[in-house]
A and B are shown apart, each in its own frame.
Chain A
Amino acid sequence: MNQRKTTLHMAGAKKAGTRLVLLLFTVVVLLPIIWTIYTSFKTTTEFLANPWMLPKGLYWPNYTNALEKGNMVAYFKNSIFVTLLGLAFLVLLAVPTAYVTSRFKFRLARPISLLFMSGLFVSQNYIVVPIFLSLNKVQNYLNQYVEFQHLKLTDNLIILALIYAVCSLPFSIYLLSGFLKTIPDEYENAAKIDGCSYGQTLFLVIVPMAKPAMVTVLMFNYMEYWNEYIMATTLMQERRWTLPVGLVNLMEQQKFATDWGAMFAGMVIVMLPTMIIYAFVQKRLTEGISMGGLKG
């Protein structure tokens, strides 16, 4: 009895210790963000005082400055568009390929998956310029023809989304294949007996089962697309910039204009929508990663 009590006590102490460590890291994660938020309301003179100090009031002109100078609303729309479209392209391309190469036995299965695997080592960052040059060549060629007179391949959000999707194919196929391999054959056989075509089997049987892995893949890539900076700066002109490009631009402007307030406000503007969305989907999100995991 007594011994039991002490173990309970010890467990309690342990729990407290665990909590302490976890809370410490919570502070490390949250503090910079909270600091950014309240600092964004400081006036220029308040910036010269102790950085920890709270602002005396809410100084909103920082936000109007950032929105006007930074054009953040438009960039936000562009970012959402590219990310969602990129994910749609990705699902359409990656899921069928991963399915076929991982579960069908045919002569080219291995070469195809190796081909995509090799793409894992090609970084977007150094194929940007060749892509840009080729797109321009094709565009100049196509522009000779009436139908394509006004076609733009660079500075085109749809193409950007497509490039994002293609560049993330290697990793996504690699991940999905790993998961799809673990699905027992019985499901497909059953589907076959029920008279499902291959396409039906894929979309009605396999895809729902692969949901966790797909969520993982989508999450990985959502972040890739949302954060991507180099491709967007190179391919897009000012009107079609995405949020990261806009923020860097705001930061550059700040370097010449010393408008610290607008700069912090800009950061909050970029963070806030993500924070709100995250608040809604976080459960699904972490669950998705948990369920999908990286099953070999």
Chain B
Amino acid sequence: MRNIKKILALMCVASLGTAMFAGCTKVSDVPQNSDETQAAEAGEETATDGSEKVLNVAVFQGGYGREVWDTLAERFEEEHEGVTVNVTANPKLGDVIRPQIMSGNPPDVIFLSATNESGVLQSLIQDKALECLDDVFDDEMKAKFVPGSLDAPTISPYGDGKIYAAPLFYSTMGLFYNKTLFAENNLEVPKTWDDFFELGDKAKEMGIGLFTYAAANDPSYNEIVFNPAIASAGGPELLEDCFNYKEGAWTSEPVKKVMGVYQKIADGGYLLDGTLAMTHTQSQEQFLQNKSLFIPNGNWLENEMKDTPRADGFAYGFTGIPVFEEGDTPCVWSNIEEIYVPSAAKEIDLAKEFIKFLYTDDSIMTLAESTGAIPPIEGAADLTKSVLSDSVYETYAITEKGYTPVTGGFAMTEQSEISIRDDIYNTLNSIMAGEKNVDEWSELIESDSNKLSEIVLK
């Protein structure tokens, strides 16, 4: 009797156990019993795959907005029967797609530039997880591109000439100002840094700032000033050395001279009040209100701020970066925004097709019209001139005024705890706040640079 009770109880425990693990046992039973259904279902899936393909496109929703991508997606669908394009657009795109990439389900096409804080492109490069785009960039295609635009470290990261990310947008960036404000106050666009600071004193008299930027969320907007100024003061080779972590590059005189410009903005009180707490749109808003003479920015500025109230008669003006001595080569920063295909993507061929499609004249026109951005293809600026706004066209035409475009980026390295861009631009904020000085700044970057030089990706 007692035993029976015990057994019963044991059975109870056992049943409790099986109830808990019911899920698991069922799982292992299933495949043997239902091979047929599985096959049927798989068949069904391939059948639908044949007639209907889905291309997942993930784009960064920044100054360019998302509408243009919807337009392009629609047109691509029209041209390709049975293809549906899903556009994911988000200002925090990195956070949205990271889980997808990690779980092996990445979007097929990603437009998220290397300068984005999410670091997605860098990770994909380090992991060698990008699809080679040499199919897209055959010789004929390559010939169309502006020389040098396909050599950037994010475009062709492994030094073998193979292209892993496509340079979708190319833009020239520099200092924006309000033409009307300048004309009304008889101000002249500065050629040298001395001119620039003279304007600063006039700005003080007018009770406004000389300079403002996106200090609170993205001080790296300053690369627009910082990098070309280095190239202009020490030659493009020096900038190259800086990007390749060459010893002594960051403590060299020309670099310190450029850093000194920031020191002077800070010491002279030329920075617009409140700048250090402003995000990029906030500083841009202030700029549109004539609160600051200059703001470093790119050609998306106008589109990004199209709904924002501004001072009466406001007219965008654009100029390059001042030089130290007359006779120095004046430079402007040019930047490339990448679009790429993860090698784990489901629709690689279609994705490549989509990238090709973006480089057709029609697409170039559409992109230019609604974003003002164009690809680094020879003659693209002239092709799109009719649809570009004046200020945007001016950014491309700056090279005709004698400004040399410079570009580049830090050589890719293995994983490291150092984020050299952060160190440069966050310290720039500290300079502006009067909390650090130029020597500390250049030494910090030099020490970062020395550490990074040892782990450059080959």
Contact = CB atoms under 8 A, between A and B. Distances in A.
Whether chain B is bound by chain A comes out as yes
Interface of A: 44-45, 48, 132-133, 136, 139-140, 142, 144-149, 154, 233-235, 237-238, 248-249, 252-259
B91 A253 contact: yes
Given A44-B307, A258-B285, A146 B104 contact: no
Interface in B152-211: none
A136 B307 contact: no
Chain B CB count within 10 A is highest, among A149, A237, A248, A257, for A257
A234 B91 contact: no
B370 interface: no
Contact of A136 (B61, B62, B102, B308): B102
Given A44-B309, A146-B37, A256-B61, A233 B95 contact: yes
Contacts of B95: 233
Contacts of A45: 309
Contact of A238 (B31, B61, B96, B308): B96
Contacts of B307: 44, 257-259
Nearest to B92: A252
A169 to B, nearest CB: 18
Contacts of B92: 248-249, 252
Nearest to A235: B99
Contacts of B62: 256
Contacts of A145: 27, 30-31, 38
B91 A147 contact: no
B103 interface: yes
B337 to A, nearest CB: 15
B217 interface: yes
A57 B104 CA distance: 51
Given A45-B309, A249-B91, A256-B63, A140 B96 contact: no
Contacts of B90: 238, 249, 252
B30 A255 contact: no
Interface of B: 26-27, 30-31, 34, 37-38, 41, 61-63, 88, 90-92, 95-96, 99, 102-104, 217, 279-281, 284-285, 289, 304-305, 307-309
Contacts of A147: 26-27, 30
A113 B91 CA distance: 44
A194 B61 CA distance: 67
B63 A154 contact: no
Given A233-B95, A259-B307, 7 more contacts: A44-B308, A132-B102, A234-B99, A237-B99, A255-B280, A257-B307, A258-B281
Contact of B99 (A132, A144, A249): A132
Nearest to A257: B307
Nearest to B33: A146
A48 B38 contact: no
B38 A136 contact: no
Contacts of B91: 249, 252-253, 255-256
Contacts of A133: 102
Given A146-B37, A149-B41, A256 B99 contact: no
Q: Which 5 A-B pairs have the closest CB atoms?
A: A252-B91, A136-B103, A145-B30, A258-B281, A258-B308
Contacts of A142: 27
B245 to A, nearest CB: 30
Contacts of A140: 103-104
21 contacts: A48-B289, A48-B309, A132-B99, A145-B27, A146-B34, A146-B38, A146-B41, A147-B30, A149-B41, A235-B99, A237-B99, A238-B90, A249-B92, A253-B91, A255-B279, A255-B281, A256-B91, A256-B281, A256-B304, A257-B307, A258-B284
Chain A CB count within 10 A is highest, among B91, B102, B217, B281, for B91
Nearest to B30: A145
Nearest to B96: A238
A253 B63 CA distance: 10
B253 to A, nearest CB: 38
A234 B96 CA distance: 8
A257 B62 CA distance: 9
A254 B91 CA distance: 9
A259 B307 CA distance: 8
A84 B328 CA distance: 67
A252 B279 CA distance: 11
Nearest to A249: B92
Nearest to A141: B27
A36 to B, nearest CB: 18
Contact of B61 (A132, A154, A233, A253): A253
Contacts of B61: 253, 256
A144 B31 contact: yes
Contacts of A44: 307-309
B216 to A, nearest CB: 10
A32 B26 CA distance: 56
B309 A255 contact: no
B27 A255 contact: no
A60 B95 CA distance: 31
Nearest to A47: B309
Contacts of B289: 48
Given A252-B92, A253-B61, A146 B30 contact: yes
A83 B429 CA distance: 41
Contacts of A48: 289, 309
Nearest to B35: A146
A36 B289 CA distance: 24
A237 B26 CA distance: 29
Contacts of B104: 136, 140
Contacts of B96: 237-238
Nearest to A132: B99
Nearest to B214: A255
Chain B CB count within 10 A is highest, among A45, A149, A256, for A256
Contacts of A144: 31
